[in-house]
Amino acid sequence: MATRTDAPTRREQILREAARLFAERGFHGVGVDEIGAAVGISGPGLYRHFPGKDAMLAELLVGISGQLLTGARRRLAEAGADRSRADASRAGAEADRAGAEADRAGLGGSPAVVGGGPAVAEAVLDSLIEGHIDFAIDDRPLITLHDRELDRLRDSDRKLVRQLQRQYVELWVEAVRALYPNLVEPAARSAVHSVFGLLNSTPHLGRPGSLPGRAATAELLHRMARGAFAAAADA
């Protein structure tokens, strides 16, 4: 349910309204007629898109877990591409300097490629935090839905959600340890779960209109997340 700039499809509209209603009143407190009315179609008309409420719930929870993982991988890939370009640029500069020195000394040689270093690791972690904050602010009903209704999924769907979430966590663990190499893996994993708890607290911050503003909320959450990781590294 990531934010889009183009118009949502009818299926996406149904899922968004179903998430909102399920979060507000609980899965069993909402009927298909109410979901249909929220998107301007009859309850039976929903069955052209989904076989039932269970299928909507599964697509919501499996879907957002997959989207978070895909988004994190994309951010890591983009950071890797940026690192490759930066490394190539640095390597070229080093080659020029080494070539000039070799010419003066009458020697040959080639420089080593410089690694990304802390700046790249920091950019990667910041990007992951920003992506999760976008989800936590824009898709608050899905957080409530996950907390309350995950056990209603079929075993296969619930296992898939857990599998996707574990992969997502491990990407974060890798990013955290790249920036804070003194953190052992179990401590980094605990820190990641703690930060998720912090970021996923947005449903408890009040109604959207009562928040200080999206940008201010995002900035606050980002500072708190970075502070939590730094504190874990200093412990």
SS (H, E, C) 145-175: HHHHHHHHCCHHHHHHHHHHHHHHHHHHHHH
Evaluate if residue 4 carries a pLDDT over 60: no
Evaluate if residue 81 carries a pLDDT over 70: no
pLDDT of residue 91: 40
pLDDT of residue 111: 29
More confident residue, 133 or 85: 133
pLDDT of residue 104: 37
On average, the pLDDT of the chain sits at 85
Residues 6+ apart with CB under 8 A from 84: none
The 3-state DSSP composition of the chain as helix, strand, coil percent (nearest 5) reads 80, 0, 20
Evaluate if residue 209 carries a pLDDT over 60: yes
pLDDT band at 206 (very low <50, low <70, confident <90, very high): confident
What are the angstrom distances between the C-alpha of 21 and each of 12, 15, 36, 57, 115?
14, 10, 11, 11, 49
What confidence tens digit (pLDDT) does each residue in 101-139 have? 433 333 333 322 223 688 899 999 999 999 999 999 999
Task: Tell me which DSSP letter residue 200 carries.
Answer: T
What confidence tens digit (pLDDT) does each residue in 5-54 have? 467 799 999 999 999 999 999 999 999 999 999 999 988 888 999 999 99
Q: CA torsion, points 218, 220, 221, 223, in degrees to nearest 10? A: 120
In the chain the domains, ranked by start, together with CATH numbers, are 10-234 (1.10.357.10)
The residue-averaged pLDDT of 56-60 equals 98
Phi and psi for 207 in degrees, rounded to 5?
Answer: -70, 155
* Axis-axis angle for helices 117-138, 140-149 (nearest 10): 80
Q: 3-class DSSP state for residue 214?
A: helix
pLDDT of residue 112: 28
Of 217, 224, 165, nearest to 194 (Cα)?
224
More confident residue, 197 or 113: 197
User: What is the rounded CA–CA span in Å between residue 190 and residue 211?
Assistant: 28
Contact 109, 102 (CB under 8 A): yes
